[in-house]
Chain A
C-alpha cells in the first residue's frame, strides 16, 4: 500500500525535477553567470539596452490594454446573453468560444487574409473607392490590440457568464425588496459577487497576452514585445541575452499570477448549500432590448466567423489568383491535393500528430500518478503527502502552464543543450524528442486539472463501498474509479492534444528538420507567399480541432 504510493511519488518527482525544477533553475543560474563566474553583468547589460526596456514596457502595456479591451467586449456580451432570450442566442453561444480553440498562428494568418493590407477588406475598400494605396496597414498597436481582443475576449465572456449563472438570484431580489434601486443592487451585490470571475478572466487574458508571439511576429510592426526579443536574440546567437530576457519574462508572468491570486483569495463566494437555492434569474424575453440583443448577436456571430470563413475561402484560391482583387478570382482543390499528396506535407502532419499524441498520452498516464498523490486519502487513512506537500506539488505543476511557451522552450533548451549532470552524455536539443518533451511540459497541467476535477466529483463513499465488498486497492481503481473518471480525463487529454497540434511559440524556438510540425510549415508557406497552402494547413487544423472538441464536449457531459 505504502510502497505503491512511494513508486507514484518517485515517478512524479522525477518528472518534476527533470521537467520543471532543473530547467528553470538552470536558466536562472545561467542568467547570473558569465564565463563560469557569478555576476549581475548580464542583467546590467540587458537592462541598459533601450530596446529591452521598450520590449518590457510594450509587453506590459499590450497586456494591460488587452485586458481592458477584452473586459469591455466580453462582460457586456455575457450580460446580454445571460439575461436575454432571443432568436440567435444558441447560435452565438455556439460560436462565442471559437477564438479559444483557434491556434494563435492560424488565427493570425486568417486575420492577415481578412484585415491585412492585402486582405479582403482592404482590397474591397481600395477597389470600391479606386484608391492608389491600401486604406490601412495591419501593423503595430491597433493590429495587435484588435487581434488580441478577438482571440482573448472569450475569457471574459465565458467566465463572466459562468459567474452570472452561479449568483443566486434571490440575493438581488433580497436587495431590491430592501429598497435598493437597480443601480444600487448592481454596485453593492452583483459586482462584488462577480469580482472573482472578473479577476480570473483578467489573469488568463494577461498571461495569454504576455505570452503572445504569433501576432507580434506577423504584424507587430515596430512594436517589439519580450517574446519576440527572446526569439530574435536566439536567432542572432546571443544566448546570454535570450536567457536573461527569458528570466525577466518569467518573473513578470509569475508576478502577475501571484498578484491576481492574492487578490482573488480575499473575496467570498456565495455558499449555495441551502435548500431551494440558487434561483435562476428570469430572462427578459420581450421588448426593444430583445431586438437589439438579437441584432448584436447576429453581428457578433458574423464578426467571429469571418476570419475562419476567410481562411476557408483562401484555402481554395489558385496560387497567383489573388493579387489586387477583393476576392481570389480562381478556385481550385490543388492546395488540398498538395497537402495530402506531397511527402513533405505528410511528414509534417505525421510529426505533429505523433509528437502531440506522445505528449498527451504521457500527460494522461503521469497525471494519474499526480492526482493520486493530490487527492485526499480515503477517510481514516493517512495521506501520503501533507497539506503543504500537496500545495507545493500543485504549484510545481502550475508553473509550466503559467510560464509563456517561449520560457518553457528556452529553459528546456538551456538545460539539455549540452551534456550535463542529469542526462549524462545525452543531448536532448537537436533530437526529435525535444518537442514532445516541451509539449508535455506545457500542456500536462490541463490534463492534471481535468483528471483532478473528475476525481473530486467522485463520492469517496464509492471506493469505501467497494472496499467493504472486498475489493483490493487496484480493483477499486480499475473497477470503480477508472470507469467514472475516464471521460473527464480523456476530454482533458484531447484538449492538450489539439493545442499541441497547433503549437508554434515553443516549436519555432527548438524544432529541428526531423520534427518540423504543422505550425512551422504554415509559417514557411506564408513566407513563400503560398497563401493557399498556408490556409489549407490552417483549415485542416481547424477541422481536426473542431472534431476533437465535439468529442471532448460529449465526453464531459457523460
Chain B
C-alpha cells in the first residue's frame, strides 16, 4: 500500500499536453522530488495532487482513498507556493491562523498552534507584523508556518526557494529538510534546480515535456540516467553518438563513435537498448573522464588534443578534441595541462552508460 499514488494522470491545456500519462508512488515519511526544466509539467502535477487542477484522465489515491475529484479544501494538504501567496491584508498571525480559522479551531488551541508554528520557522514574536514589513526569507518562513500549522497529511512545495538569493537558499534548504523530518511529514517538492533536489530529496522523479522519465534515488539518477533527456538535464555530461558493431555480443559490446571513429567497449546489460546498425548514445560524466600521459594501452583509451582549459575554482574543466570527438574532463590541477598538448583520454567501461535513445 502506498501513501500517495498517481495513476496514469494526464492534463491538457487546450492543445498542449502539460502532463502526459504520469504514474508515481510516494511512500509515507519520504521527501519526494519532482524535478524538471520549466514547462515540463511538474507544477501542474503538484497542483493536481493539491486539487487545484483536475486531471483529464487517470486517478489520484491517498491512503487508498480515491481523491481525484475531492475539493482542495477537503484534502488537508499544506501547500507552499512559489510566490508564497501570503494574504496581504492579514498580519503574520492571521496568515498562519487562516487554515485553523477555516477549521473552526478553538481560540486557545489556535493560539498555541500558531505560536508553535512560528517558533518552528524561527519567527517567534512576529505575529503582529504586516506581511510587507518582512524580508523575502521571512515571508517564505511564514508561508511554511502557515502550511504546517494545519498539521497537514502531506506537504506540497512549489519551488519555494526560487525567490531567495543563493546564500539564503542553501541555508533555508537544510532548515526545511530538518523541519520536515522532525515533524515526521511526507513532502512532495517541485523544483527545476538539480542541486536543490539532490540535497533535499530521498527520491526524485525527473519530468521532461510532460512525461515522467525516471524515478529513483539522487545517486541512481545521476550515475545511471535512463535516457538522453535525463542525462542532459542532470548536470554536465559527455554524450557520445555511436553505433553498435555487428561483431559484438552482450558481454563484450563494441561501439564505433560517429565522431572520431573510435571503438569503445562496454558490456550491454539490456540488449534492447542497443539495436544493431542504429545510432545510440553513450554518456559519461566529466569527472569520470581520465586524462593520462601514459596508459596508452588501457581499454577505451583515445588520443586527444587539449583545446581549452577553463579554470573554475576547486575543479577545472579541460576540453579535449579526440579526432573530432569533443569531450570534457574535470581535473583538480589545471596547471598540468596546456593548449594543444596531446593526452590519452580514458573512458572507463564501468562509467559509460548506454542511454535509451530519443526514438527508441
Are A and B bound to each other?
yes
Are A177 and B52 within 8 A (Cβ)? Answer: yes
Known: A184-B102, A270-B88. A179 touches B130 (CB 8 A): no
A176 to B102, CA, bound (A): 9
The CA-CA distance from A275 to B146 in the complex, in Å, is 20
Binds B, one of A186-194, A333-341, A442-450: A186-194
Q: Mark interface residues in A152-176 (1 if CB within 8 Å of B CB, else 0).
A: 0000000000000000101101111
Interface residue? A267 (CB, 8 A): yes
Q: When chains A and B are docked, how far (Å) is the Cα of A268 from the Cα of B87?
A: 10
| CB neighbors of A among B121-156 (8 A) | 130, 132, 146-147, 150, 156
Closest A residue to B79 using CB positions: A177
Are B99 and A274 in contact, with the CB atoms below 8 A? no
Distance A216 CA – B181 CA, assembled complex (angstroms): 71
A268 touches B150 (CB 8 A): no
Q: For chain A residues 268-305, which have a beta carbon within 8 Å of chain B?
A: 268-272, 274-278
Say yes or no: A178 contacts B150, CB within 8 Å: yes
**Distance (Å) between the CB of A275 and the closest chain B CB?**
6
Query: With A171-B85, A193-B89 in contact, is A180–B50 under 8 Å at CB?
Result: no
How far is A179 from B102 in the complex, measured between Cα atoms in Å? 6
A178-B102, A179-B103, A268-B88 known; A275+B73 contact, CB < 8 A = no
- Chain B residues whose CB sits within 8 angstroms of the CB of A267 once the complex forms: 89
Partner of B52, one of A176, A181, A274: A176
Q: Are A276 and B83 in contact (CB under 8 A)?
A: yes
In this complex, what residue of A is CB-closest to B84?
A: A274
Closest to B162 in A: A275
Assess whether A171 is in contact with B76, with CB atoms less than 8 Å apart. Answer: no
Beta-carbon contact of B88 and A174 below 8 Å: no
Contact of A177 among B50, B159, B163 (CB under 8 A): B50
Interface flags, B81-95, vs A, CB<8A=1, else 0? 111111111000000
- Pairwise interchain contact A168-B78, C-beta atoms closer than 8 A: no
**Pair B85/A170 contact, Cβ less than 8 Å:** yes
- Nearest B residue to A191 via CB reads B89
A278 to B81, CA, bound (A): 12
Given contacts A270-B88, A275-B162, contact A178 B146 (CB under 8 A): yes
B255 interfacial contact with A, CB 8 Å:
no
Question: Nearest Cβ in chain B — how far from A448, in angstroms?
Answer: 29
Chain A residues with Cβ below 8 Å from B82 are 170, 274-277
Do residues A268 and B52 form an inter-chain contact, with CB atoms below 8 A? no
Is B98 in contact with chain A by the CB < 8 A criterion? yes
- Give chain B nearest CB distance to A235 CB in angstroms: 50
Q: Map CB proximity to A onto B52-94 as digits: 1 under 8 Å, 0 otherwise.
A: 1000000000000000000111111111011111111100000
Quick check: A177 and B83 within 8 Å, CB to CB?
Answer: no
Tell me which residues across on chain A come within 8 A of B102, comparing CB atoms. Answer: 175, 178-181, 184
Task: Given the known inter-chain contacts A181-B102, A267-B89, please indicate yes or no for A176 contacting B84, CB distance below 8 A.
Answer: no
A173 with B98: CB separation less than 8 A: no
Cβ contacts under 8 Å, B78 to chain A: 177-178
| Known pairs A170-B81, A174-B85; A179 contacts B73 (CB<8 A) | yes
Q: How far apart sit A298 and B156, CA to CA, in the bound complex (Å)?
A: 43
Give A181's nearest chain B residue, CB to CB.
B73
**Residue in B closest to A282 when the chains form the complex, CB atoms:** B53
If A178-B102, A181-B102, A275-B163 touch, whether A268 touches B81 (CB-CB below 8 Å) is no
A271 CA to B103 CA, complexed, in Å: 27
Contact A179 B85, CB 8 Å, known A173-B52, A188-B98: no
- Contact assessment for A271 and B88 in the assembled complex, using a CB-CB cutoff below 8 Å: yes
B86 contact set on A, CB distance < 8 A: 174
A269 to B88, Cβ gap below 8 A? yes
Given A180-B73, A271-B132, A175 contacting B98 (CB threshold 8 A) = yes
A162 to chain B, nearest CB (A): 17
Kindly list chain A residues whose C-beta atoms are within 8 Å of the C-beta of B147: 178
Choose among B50, B76, B88 the residue with the greatest number of A CB atoms under 10 Å from its CB.
B88
- Cβ–Cβ < 8 Å partners of B75 in chain A: 177
Q: Assess A168 versus B73: contact at CB under 8 Å? Given A179-B99, A268-B130, A275-B162.
A: no
Pair B73/A176 contact, Cβ less than 8 Å:
yes
Per-position 1/0 for A182-218, Cβ under 8 A of B: 0010001100110000000000000000000000000
What is the CA–CA distance of A127 and B129 in the complex, to the nearest angstrom?
Answer: 69
Contact A173 B81 (CB under 8 A): yes
Residues of chain B with a CB closer than 8 A to A174's CB:
79, 81, 85-87, 146
Cross-chain contact B83 with A268 (CB below 8 angstroms): no
Q: Mark A243-280, 1 if CB is under 8 A from B, else 0.
A: 00000000000000000000000011111101111100
How far is it, in angstroms, between the C-alpha of A276 and the C-alpha of B82 when the chains are bound? 7
| Nearest chain B CB to A174 CB, angstrom units | 4
Chain B residue with the shortest CB-CB distance to A174: B85
Residues from chain A with a CB closer than 8 A to the CB of B83 are 168, 170, 272, 274-278
Cβ contacts under 8 Å, A175 to chain B: 87, 98, 102
Bound-state Cα–Cα, A280 to B251, Å: 56
Report how far A549 CA is from B86 CA in the complex, Å: 39
Hey, which chain B residues are within 8 Å of A168, CB to CB?
A: 83, 85
Residues of B near A176 (CB, < 8 A) are 51-52, 71-73
Q: In the bound complex, do residue A171 and residue B87 qualify as a contact, i.e. CB atoms below 8 Å apart?
A: yes
A271 to B162, CA, bound (A): 17
Contact status A178-B84, CB under 8 Å? no
Are B87 and A179 within 8 A (Cβ)? no
| Chain A residue at minimal CB-CB distance from B47 | A173
Question: Which of A171, A176, A177, A276: most chain B Cβ within 10 A?
Answer: A177
Nearest chain B residue, comparing its CB with the CB of A175: B98
The answer on a CB contact under 8 Å between B50 and A268 is: no
**Given A168-B83, A179-B99, A269-B88: A173 in contact with B72 (beta carbons within 8 A):** yes
Bound-complex Cα distance A168 to B88 (A): 11
A277 to B132, CA, bound (A): 16
- C-alpha gap A257/B210 in the complex (Å): 53
Q: Chain B contacts of A270 at CB under 8 A?
A: 88
Most buried by B among A175, A192, A274: A274
Chain A: CB-nearest residue to B72: A176
Cα separation A170 to B89 with both chains bound (whole Å): 15
Q: Kindly list chain A residues whose C-beta atoms are within 8 Å of the C-beta of B88.
A: 193, 268-271
Chain A CB within 10 A, most for which of B72, B85, B102:
B85
Q: What string of 1s and 0s marks CB contacts (under 8 Å) between B210-251 and chain A?
A: 000000000000000000000000000000000000000000
Alpha-carbon separation in the docked complex, A178 to B96 (Å): 10
Q: Report Cα–Cα, A442/B102, bound state, in Å.
A: 50
Say whether B73 contacts A268, CB under 8 Å: no
Complex contacts, A278 vs chain B, CB 8 Å: 83
Minimal beta-carbon separation of A500 from chain B (angstroms): 40
With both chains docked as a complex, state the minimum distance between the C-beta of B280 and any C-beta of chain A, in angstroms.
38
Question: Which residues in A have their C-beta under 8 angstroms from that of B98?
Answer: 175, 178, 180, 188
Roughly how many angstroms separate A269 CA and B83 CA in the complex, as a whole number?
Answer: 15
Most buried by B among A180, A193, A267: A180
The interface residues of chain B lying within 8 Å CB-to-CB of A271 are 88, 132
Nearest chain A CB to B137's CB is how many angstroms away? 13
Closest chain A CB from B15 CB (angstroms): 15
Besides A175-B87, A177-B79, A178-B147, 14 more A-B contacts (Cβ < 8 Å) are A168-B83, A170-B82, A170-B85, A171-B87, A174-B81, A174-B86, A176-B51, A177-B77, A178-B73, A178-B146, A178-B150, A179-B73, A179-B103, A180-B98
**24 CB < 8 A contacts A-B:** A171-B85, A173-B50, A173-B81, A174-B79, A174-B87, A175-B87, A176-B73, A177-B50, A177-B79, A178-B78, A178-B102, A179-B102, A179-B103, A181-B73, A188-B98, A189-B87, A192-B87, A193-B89, A268-B88, A268-B132, A270-B88, A275-B82, A277-B82, A278-B83
Identify the B interface with A (CB < 8 A).
50-52, 71-79, 81-89, 98-99, 101-103, 130, 132, 146-147, 150, 156, 159, 162-163
Q: Which residues of A contact B (CB under 8 A)?
A: 168, 170-171, 173-181, 184, 188-189, 192-193, 267-272, 274-278
Q: What are the nearest 4 A-B pairs in CB distance?
A: A178-B99, A274-B83, A174-B85, A277-B83
